[in-house]
Chains A and B, each alone.
Chain A
Amino acid sequence: MAGHTQNLSKDELWGGNASPFGATYGKMMMWYFLVSDALTFGGLLTAYGVIRHSSSEPWPVGEQVFEALPGLHGSYPLMYVALMTFILIISSVTMVLAVEAGHRRDKKSVVKWLGYTIIGGFFFLASQAWEWSHFIHGSGGGFQINKSMTIIGELENGEKIQMSVNAGTWVNMTSEFGHEYEHAMEGGHEAAPAEEHGHGGHGAHAEEHAAPAHVDVNSLKPTELILNKYVLEHKDGKDIRKVKVTGEDCQKLWDAKGDGTMAFGANMHKNEYAIQQQYANFFFFVTGFHGFHVFSGVVINIIVWFMALGGEFERRGHYETIEKIGLYWHFVDLVWVFVFTFFYLI
């Protein structure tokens, strides 16, 4: 789009008869708004960094927390969020194509590309709803142990490892056992269909939920527990993550479970992913605030789509409104690029 701006001499530019910025009032103000909004997100992400940097407990690792795909069983680390990122980038591209069509005063193309942008926005919002739902429901839950002990666990490659675990260490249950236990804890409810609990990716466990009601919580015992399910520690240059503990040691860990430390999924007070509650709270706040921006963006896009369809911009003689809402939409994509890096990659 080079060549849109003219080369004016300094005297002309700052002489008072031309805009030194070469932008209309509305576009200028949209940019100022975006700068202030970027400072808000910059502040939130920096706050996240400070909390994470000052935390002495290990922090959850993105590829261990986010590894589910809807309707599938198994481990697909970061695949879902990569898809979300891709959807947002593509909807950003369709938006910039709408802006370009606007510069050609091509109403049909503007309506088409803006329409695709709106669809992309809806896809992203739906994906985020699933992501939240999965995060809130969790995959099995966990608890803190109330005394220190030494146990033998098994690494992912089958290697046995001896670990001394301290009181306060976080222990996770398998999704099968955790869900069964959660149901029993809720106590005496009807056998509920799996869909009602919406933990996508675990649909294969429908049969567990069909277990008879009124299961005594105390009669349930796990056969397998997991240490470092979501976090990662290093010992002697080795990755210590997802350590399976079975048999007698599993029983020892289970007997040491601390009162009131049990957590399933995540909410504003408890979470199964980390000892630090700030992890879940930052996830909810930052991705939620971003999701709210996407939602407002979709609403604004829909309004402008109807304006374009009704020929409003033909009457005005220009499609600058598309450019302004385009700026906002790209900004939403821009923020996601950073959220993606700080919450999922690093």
Chain B
Amino acid sequence: MERDDLIVNDSYAINASHSEEAGKAIRKKLYLVTLLLTAITVVEVFMGVAFKRNGTFAWETIKLGFLVLTLVKAAYIVLVFMHLGDERKNLKYVILLPYALFIMYLIFIGLYEGTAIQSAVSTWK
């Protein structure tokens, strides 16, 4: 039987190695992303220390800001460092879509259940 794990044609990414010049451009991009990720982390820590958590609208916004910054960081890691952004569309969506679907459902059901548990506990008290 023919093996399907061998590299048979140029459609595989690994076969297409890149040149020295292309490498230079890629490295430049990587350093820029590094700078960006570091800057975001610094901003996050600054926000965590500087802003007061007093349950007001402002803190809710800041919490949302943390989530957005985290997702931006995650997107850069997955799309650039793990170069999923450069993979063929089929692969990209086979990885991302099922996960996004499951995790959104999980978060929804988690928050829903959490609220229910809290209200049940405070009713019994």
Please list the residues of chain A having a beta carbon within 8 angstroms of any beta carbon in chain B.
1-6, 8, 13, 17-28, 31, 35, 38-39, 42-43, 46-47, 49-56, 61-63, 77-79, 82, 85-86, 89-90, 92-93, 95-97, 100-101, 103-105, 232, 234, 237-239, 318-320, 323, 326-327, 330-331, 333-334, 337-338, 340-341, 344-346
How many chain B residues have a CB neighbour from A under 8 Å?
Answer: 72
Of B22, B98, B118, the residue contacting A54 (CB under 8 A) is: B118
In the complex with contacts A93-B34, A239-B52, A31-B41 CB distance below 8 A:
no
CB of B14 within 8 A of CB of A323, answer yes
In the complex with contacts A50-B114, A55-B118, A56-B118, A92-B77 CB distance below 8 A:
yes
Within B64-114, the residues touching A (CB, 8 Å) are 66-67, 70, 73-74, 77-78, 80-83, 86-88, 90-91, 94-95, 98-99, 102-103, 106-107, 110-111, 113-114
Of B66, B91, B122, the residue contacting A21 (CB under 8 A) is: B91
* Chain A min CB distance to B28 (Å): 11
Please list the residues of chain B having a beta carbon within 8 angstroms of any beta carbon in chain A.
4-5, 7, 9-20, 22-23, 26-27, 30-31, 34, 37-38, 41-42, 44-45, 47-49, 52-56, 63, 66-67, 70, 73-74, 77-78, 80-83, 86-88, 90-91, 94-95, 98-99, 102-103, 106-107, 110-111, 113-118, 121-122, 125
CB of A341 within 8 A of CB of B77, answer no
- Name the residue of chain B whose CB is nearest to the CB of A12: B11
- Name the residue of chain A whose CB is nearest to the CB of B80: A96
* Chain B min CB distance to A18 (Å): 5
| Residues in A neighbouring B114, C-beta threshold 8 A | 49-54
CB of A19 within 8 A of CB of B11, answer yes
* Chain B min CB distance to A128 (Å): 17
* Chain A min CB distance to B78 (Å): 7
CB of A338 within 8 A of CB of B11, answer no
| Residues in A neighbouring B63, C-beta threshold 8 A | 346
* Chain B min CB distance to A244 (Å): 19
Q: Which applies to chain A's interface (DSSP): helix, strand, loop or mixed?
A: helix
CB of A53 within 8 A of CB of B118, answer yes
In the complex with contacts A31-B91, A50-B110, A232-B53, A4-B16 CB distance below 8 A:
yes
CB of B34 within 8 A of CB of A104, answer no
CA–CA, A100 and B52, complex, Å:
43
Of A21, A24, A79, A340, the residue contacting B90 (CB under 8 A) is: A21
CA–CA, A4 and B14, complex, Å:
8
